[in-house]
Amino acid sequence: MIALLKRDLTLAFRAGGGFGLGLAFFLIVTVLVPFSVGPQSSLLSTIAPGVLWLGALLACLLSLDRLLALDWEDGSLDLLATAPLPLESVVTIKALAHWITTGLPLVLAAPVLGVLLNLPVPGFFWLVVSLALGTPALSVIGTFGAALTVGLKRGGLLLSLLVLPLYVPTLIFGAEVARRGATGMETATPLLMLAGITAATIALLPFASAAVLRVNLR
């Protein structure tokens, strides 16, 4: 398992792995927002938590179609499926690698982009907390979507259509934590719900992803 994680991380960090693309996308989305809604700082600070969450979510989505497709193309997915490691662990490790290369950088970059959007000071802490808790769920759900569409030639757009509705609960609770945090309100309830969603998806969804992947590999 560790070896697989190392392999995935190495592939992502080395040239052509696309590491940093998601981060650059996140930056661009954040920069484009003031152009589209106007530069008033009061407006920007109101929408900052939601925009940053949406940007992180889209950046996450952007890198999903590479998650399994590259391994599918060069045949290493078949090898992984026949390896002694259960497929459930394989997809969990894949999701973890995706989170380390996409989710974690987004979490770390979010405060910097928060400055650009004039995020209120108490919001920074809650933004980072909510993203740190929520992005693992995004990776796991995304792995399920990637497993569903892995055999398709033009799966990219379909992947978005399938995954985005599944992202709704995570987005609602995650953005709610950030928004409440920014306005100084109580954040415990949405935070617990967000943590619950993340824990449940990590616990259950790999089984669905592995089942779907087996169908696609047969």
Partner 1 sequence: MSIASKANALWEYANPKKFLTTTERVLPFFWISSAVFIVVGLVWGFFFTPDDYKQGSTVKIIYLHVPSALMAINCWIMMLATSLVWLVRRHHVSALAARAAAPVGIVMTLIALATGAIWGQPMWGTWWAWDPRLTSFLILFLFYLGYVALWEAIEDPDTAADLTSVLCLVGSVFAFLSRYAVNFWNQGLHQGASVMRVGAVTGTDTEEKVSNIFFFPLLVCIIGFVLLFIALVFYRTGTEIRARRIKALIARERVNG
Interaction between residue 155 and partner 1 (CB under 8 A): yes
Applying CB under 8 A, which of residues 190, 191, 198, 206 lies at the interface with partner 1?
A: 190
Nearest to residue 50, comparing CAs of 35, 30, 74, 25? Answer: 30
Residue 167, classed as helix, strand or coil, is coil
**Shortest gap between Cβ of 50 and partner 1 (angstroms)?**
10
Interaction between residue 43 and partner 1 (CB under 8 A): no
**Shortest gap between Cβ of 29 and partner 1 (angstroms)?**
21
How far, in Å, are 2, 88, 151, 210 from residue 54 at the CA level?
31, 29, 28, 28
**Shortest gap between Cβ of 19 and partner 1 (angstroms)?**
29
Closer CB to partner 1, residue 5 or residue 217?
217
Stretch that binds partner 1, among 18-26, 87-95, 110-118, 208-216 (CB under 8 A): 208-216
Residue 173 phi/psi, 5-degree rounding, is: -70, -40
Interacting residues with partner 1 between 97 and 136 (CB under 8 A): none
Interaction between residue 61 and partner 1 (CB under 8 A): no
Tokens of 91: 């997809």
Question: Given its phi and psi angles, is residue 2 left (phi above 0), alpha (psi -120 to 50 degrees) or beta?
Answer: alpha
CA-angle at 205, arms to 8 and 72, nearest 5°: 40
Nearest to residue 171, comparing CAs of 124, 121, 135? Answer: 135
**Shortest gap between Cβ of 22 and partner 1 (angstroms)?**
22
> Contact positions toward partner 1, by CB under 8 A?
144, 148-149, 151-152, 155, 158, 161-162, 164-166, 168-169, 172-173, 176, 179-180, 189-190, 193, 197, 205, 208, 211-212, 215-216, 218
